[in-house]
A and B are shown apart, each in its own frame.
Chain A
Amino acid sequence: MKLINALSAAALATALLGSGAQAQDTIRIGWAISKTGPFAAGASVTTLPNYQVWVKDVNDAGGIMLKSTGKKARIEIIEYDDRSNSEEMIKAVERLATQDKVDFILPPWSTGLNLAVAPVLNKYGYPHLAVTANSNRAPEMVKRWPNLTFWLGLPSELIDGLVDTMSTLRRDGKIGDKVAMAAVGDQFGIEQSTAAREGLKKAGFNLVYDKSYPFGTQDLQPVIKDAQAAAPDSFIAFSYPPDTIGLTDQAKVSGFSPKVFYVGVGTAFPIYKGKFGASAEGVMGVGGSNADLPGIKWYIQHHKEIIGREPDRWASPITYASLQVLQQAIERVGKIDREAIIREINTGAFDTIIGKVQLKDNLYKGVWAVGQWQGNDFYGIAPKQDGVRTPIVPKPAWQ
């Protein structure tokens, strides 16, 4: 609460001072984020806490060093609630750019809002760190808008990682052909399950159950019971956090413990481990991080101290790392020259909590497609890169 008060006080002070204040003693950063509405849950898990932690870290260290003035500039923030509505978000971002005249704008949460804001941020020449956007059209879009960077890989890469993992497991004789698949019946679930269906068939898997369920379904027992009746080696679900938890809970109650148990968004959230404890062991899901990295270890502890809870193990560390990249790019350029800073973000190499970050064609390539709860953390198990863990298969029985 104290932090929030401090932030809003800073925002108020900024509003009162206006742009007349000595510009380079402070760096003014604005964002429009979903504080209310359906996106508030996602934004307040992955995005907003990282903005708050980063701003506090920078200001506690005295600010961002600007070579041009030889002084550190503290961050002042201006925050708007986009109410989970793309029109509101665009209005707020336009206001940040034209009336508040902020130095930098941090992106909103979700693929949809990031794609919606991309042309606006491009028009005003702000760097756009679209961490929570996940779109197969990313490679085309960054050609059109060079200020835009993507950090979560492509949806196709997430599915490729999953299918590759399962193919390797089958080759090693750890699992058989039979796969049961469930997906939430909205754009995310349909796109992911369509891609997975093709990938799994191409890899020679046998889909013994393949159904979707409506968004917001309260009882997932029918899905689990029918999947269980099909006796699959692997169960995969492209689900949202409430269903991710609901499916796991129901599988546990029904004694359904296939060799591979993969659930969607939310598996990487600390509440997942908090709710299921030892039963989470061996559960796979989208995302992951390398918790053995000293940077990640520090980050998880640090996030907990400031926000009061741990970060998720997918987009949260990347969000924080993207802000470290922004900070280092500003320091290297040494002044608020957004064009030069965008160039630096796109071409430079940066030391961050997730290791060395260097974007390739405006895309961050080190993202984990598949993670698994192993011990106390959710580690990346695919694709093969530094820090990859060997999957625990078969999944241990529910505790």
Chain B
Amino acid sequence: MPGLVPGIHDLTWCTKVKTWMAGTSPAMTVSQTMPLLIDILLAGIVLGGMYALIAMGLTLQYGVARIMNLSHGEGMIAAAFGAHWAFTAFVVSPLLGLIVAMPLAFVANWLIYGLVLMPLVRRAKNRAMLEVDSILATFGLLFVLQGIMLVVFGGQFYTYTYLSVPVDIFGSTVALNRLIALIFALVIGTGLYLALTRTRQGTALRAVAADPVAAQLVAIDVRNASAFAFALGGALVAAGGVLVSMFSTFTASMGVVFTMKALIVVIMGGVGNLAGAMLAGIMLGLAETAVARLVDPGLTIAVTYALFLTVLLVRPTGLFGRPAR
């Protein structure tokens, strides 16, 4: 066993990694495991940041407005098409495009809430009824949006190259566009978290999320707050779509892929909780990357659902979720 160099005995956590790697290379040393660990951590956090990014909009829409938006992925794809179009036709940087895309999505989602979802909110006798109705309504919206995109853009694949350059961090490389997506996820996540916990409007939103009936008693306009939360969630969805488009190949019918991933992250993190979505996303990213590197890339989906189930078994309302009353 040439792998048993002194360095290993100094660090017990490295020997653990070594047993995972036994089949790959018997001569594994600290100088080899360290870069591997950094690779896993970095790639895992970057992937997790992307998962958090695509889930934050959904968690806000579901948590406050109580709309389980199944057309979430279509919103992302629409934003991705917008970014692609702006970049290929006018060479507008997707990051600059965010400045237009987010307010536009905010207005569009406010309108969707006002026109499509408000009638459901008005007639719903309770939250459960609104949730069921909104699932059906947004399921329909999914096909409307998808159909429009298929007519406008066709069914084929779209992709472009923006900032696909390596960045060196602690000897590991990561694509700059993915790193930027992570940074935006962190900035948006932290900013919104602070806004929700430190501002008056944010407190009102949390009050609506916690108890819409009691919120009315303290003079909070619940419908207005819900519309605002839905629109804000929509703006986040658009931001996610624009950022993800920098490093993804997408088609008009691919929205459901993002919706599924976002649902897992949202439920695992605790519905309506931004910090939860962030943590859940990064946990999933790290777990997937670690399994792909240390065991087998074929098991990434298995580990995603294993982690999801474990969290739900231990905490049925998600990592940061409160028990239902």
Contact = CB atoms under 8 A, between A and B. Distances in A.
Interface of A: 34-38, 40-41, 43-45, 182, 185, 211-214, 216-219, 221-223, 225-226, 241-242, 245-246, 249-250, 252-255, 266, 269, 271, 275-276, 309
B282 to A, nearest CB: 13
B166 A212 contact: no
Nearest to A34: B155
Contacts of A249: 161, 164, 175, 247
Given A214-B297, A214-B300, A271-B157, 11 more contacts: A36-B146, A40-B251, A41-B156, A211-B296, A212-B298, A214-B298, A218-B50, A218-B248, A219-B47, A221-B289, A242-B157
B5 interface: no
Contact of B297 (A35, A43, A212): A212
A245 B164 CA distance: 12
A241 B43 CA distance: 22
Contact of B166 (A45, A213, A255): A255
A250 B285 CA distance: 17
Nearest to A250: B175
B252 A40 contact: yes
B47 A41 contact: no
B159 interface: yes
Interface residues of B, number: 42
A221 B247 CA distance: 12
A283 B175 CA distance: 21
A211 B297 contact: yes
Contacts of B157: 41, 45, 241-242, 245, 266, 269, 271
Contact of A45 (B50, B156, B250, B289): B156
B251 A35 contact: no
A192 to B, nearest CB: 15
Nearest to B249: A242
A275 B165 contact: no
A323 to B, nearest CB: 20
Interface in B285-325: 285, 288-289, 292-293, 296-298, 300-301
Contacts, number: 108
Contact of A219 (B173, B251, B257, B288): B288
B164 A223 contact: no
Interface of B: 39, 43, 46-47, 50, 146-147, 150, 154-161, 164-166, 173-175, 178, 247-253, 257, 261, 285, 288-289, 292-293, 296-298, 300-301
A105 B175 CA distance: 47
21 contacts: A35-B155, A40-B150, A41-B155, A41-B156, A41-B253, A211-B297, A212-B298, A213-B298, A214-B301, A217-B297, A219-B289, A222-B289, A222-B297, A223-B292, A242-B250, A249-B164, A249-B175, A253-B165, A254-B173, A266-B157, A275-B159
B164 to A, nearest CB: 6
A241 B249 contact: yes
A216 B298 CA distance: 11
A34 B150 CA distance: 11
B47 A218 contact: yes
Greatest chain B CB density within 10 A among A182, A214, A217, A219 is at: A219
Contacts of A255: 166, 173
A177 B300 CA distance: 29
Nearest to A269: B157
Nearest to B146: A36
Nearest to A246: B249
A222 B292 contact: yes
A218 B247 CA distance: 9
Contacts of A45: 156-157
A269 B174 CA distance: 26
Given A218-B47, A221-B43, A253-B164, A44 B297 contact: no
Nearest to B167: A253
